[in-house]
Every structure is written in structure tokens, then in C-alpha cells.
Amino acid sequence: MESLARRARILSRRLKWISRPLGRFIYRFYEEWLHAQVSEGPIPEHVAIIPDGNRRWARSLGLDANVGHEAGYEKLEDVLRWLWDLGVKVVTVYGMSYENCIKRPEDEKRFLFSLMERGLSRFVEERAYEKYGVRVKFIGRLDLIPKDVRSRVEEVESLSRLHSSRFLNIALCYGGRQEILDAITALVNDVINGRSINEVNEEVFRRYLTMTSYLPSDDLAEPDLVIRTSGELRISNFLLWHIAYSELYFCDAYWPEFRRIDLLRAIRSYQRRERRFGA
């Protein structure tokens, strides 16, 4: 049986397209045309996503905010498949911010964590890590999540650790400032224990950052493209070190309504830019 969230997404689309069969045909044609265009250009190796707008989307349909979160989870499955089909090697998703884990209402957090546990269980049951050859890494303050969810997190990381075709980072109770502070603390401890301060440079410091420490190269740790949905023009404490030279793309669609053409447009925009890396 379809979930309420999926039915709500379908209904939302049908209300827009129900009387326009020609519009659906044009949409499909445009989607394939975009895909052909994007396929001819460079595909970003690492895409980071801030999937914003679940609650606002649900409220715009007169539904409970939790329906929006469930729809957002289902959308993530679609978007990961689209990215992997395009050949993107690393995907980093802002699952929950540090501020979300501290400030959101308890009932909403319970629902989010239960949704997460359900998704991770399905990931294990369907052996998705083998199907896609993906290694999964969780970054953030994992001590803030419930024990049952943390157990699933550890299980997924363990089961997927030998795969290296693709990499999926899930930022959970994560904050960019917190990651940098944790790295500084670890570095200071090493200096106290004998590491020469003269050895410390950008390359050395980067190895103390959570996401950098397990990827096969430092270059893969820095997103080529960051996509944020819902029309908000900010980065919300996400990967502050890693996105110093990333290309940013802001999409007006709420996350549950993010379409394949929105992703293709984002990548096409990336392909048309000249990356200068600060030069």
C-alpha cells in the first residue's frame, strides 16, 4: 500500500497536470532533452544536498509536518538513484542539523528518528549497499541520536565498509562549526602529545575532518556542487570547510517536489560555470 506521503505527492502533481496531457508529453520530452545535454558534459564527482522544505510542503497541502518528512525520505531514494545513474561518485546529504537535534520538538524528533531507523533497516534488508557498491558513512554528533538508531547506523557502516564504487555521507546531528572545533581539539591534543606545530598546514588539518578521513582522496571530500531546495539562499552551517570552492545551486521547489529535471538543471548550471577555486 502506498504511504500517505507518496499519495500526497502524486495528488499534488495531478492537480497541476490532470487536464494537460500535452503538458505531460512536453515535460517528458524536455526531461530527456536535458538528460542528453547533461550527459555530454562533465559530471560532478561529489554532490552535496540540503533537502529543505518538507514541513512547508506538507502544510501547503493541509497535512501534518510528519507527512512532509516521510515524503522527503521517499524523495531521497529517488534522487540518490538519479545521481548514481548519472555517474556521481560521492553524495553527501544533510539529514539533520545539530540545531535540529537540539531545538526541534521531541515528538517531531521521535518521528524523524523512527523514519530513519525504518529506512536503514530497509537498506540492510534489500542489501542496497551491494546493489550500488556504496559505502555509507555517518558524520555528526551521533551521541545525540537514540541507541536503536545508532545501532542501525553502525550496522550499515560495517556492512558497507568494503565497497568503494560509490560513497554516501549522511550528516546527522551535524554542524560545520562543530566539525571544525572537533578537528581543532584533536589536532591540539596531538600537538600536546608531541606533534610539531610546524607540521600543521591545510593538508594536515584536512585529515582531522570527519568526512575526509575515510574517502580515497582529499579531492573527493570537497563537493563540486551543493544543491539546496525550497528557495532559501543560505548554507545553514553545512560543510563549512569542505564547500569553500563548491558551486552553489538554489532551487525553488520544496524537497518532496524536487524532480529529475530540477537535478538535471542543477548539473547543467554547474557545467556552464568556470571553476576558479579562488583564483
Active-site residue set: 52, 100
Pairing of strands 90-97, 134-139: unpaired
- Which letter does DSSP use for residue 180 in this model? H
DSSP 164-177: -SEEEEEEEEE-HH
Single out the residue of 138, 208, 207, 204 nearest to residue 173, CA to CA: 138
* Residues with Cβ within 8 Å of residue 254, at least 6 apart in sequence: 52, 53, 54, 56, 57, 60, 229, 230
How far apart (Å, rounded) are the C-alpha atoms in residues 261 and 211?
29
Report phi then psi at 248, rounded to 5: -105, 140
Single out the residue of 84, 25, 31, 16 nearest to residue 259, CA to CA: 31
